[in-house]
Amino acid sequence: AQKVTQAQTEISVVEKEDVTLDCVYETRDTTYYLFWYKQPPSGELVFLIRRNSFDEQNEISGRYSWNFQKSTSSFNFTITASQVVDSAVYFCALSEAQRGAQKLVFGQGTRLTINP
């Protein structure tokens, strides 16, 4: 069965610090997709990044970067030089090719607070 675990319930840092959000997943599918979404106080989820299971190259996009390690089933997300506007709940999500469609399985979320 598929499962996503975000062990960090809440994180609080001071502005400009780097912060890493952890995500561990479980799946039996060989083809799967991992996502990070941000949920600001307004409620909607906003897409941040994605990674395919068959592409293990890690990337940086602006202040965001991610570390995908298949060997440990982890997909960690890092915000560099955090800003107050980064405060939100962050969700890691998994979808599997076998399940079809884009049916996401979410982690419990990590509430990130950036203090000025």
Partner 1 sequence: DGGITQSPKYLFRKEGQNVTLSCEQNLNHDAMYWYRQDPGQGLRLIYYSQIVNDFQKGDIAEGYSVSREKKESFPLTVTSAQKNPTAFYLCASSIERPLNTEAFFGQGTRLTVV
b/e map 30-43, b = 16+ CB within 10 Å: eebbbbbbbeeeee
- The least distance separating partner 1 from the CB of residue 16, rounded to whole angstroms, comes to 28
Indicate the residue among 33 and 66 with the shorter CB distance to partner 1. 33
Beta partners for 37?
47, 91
Which residues of the chain form contacts with partner 1 (CB under 8 A)? 4, 6, 9, 33, 35, 37, 42-47, 50, 52, 91, 93, 95, 97, 100-109
Number of helical H runs and strand E runs in the chain: 0, 12
CB closer to partner 1 out of 79 and 90:
90
Distance in Å, CB of 83 to partner 1, minimum: 22
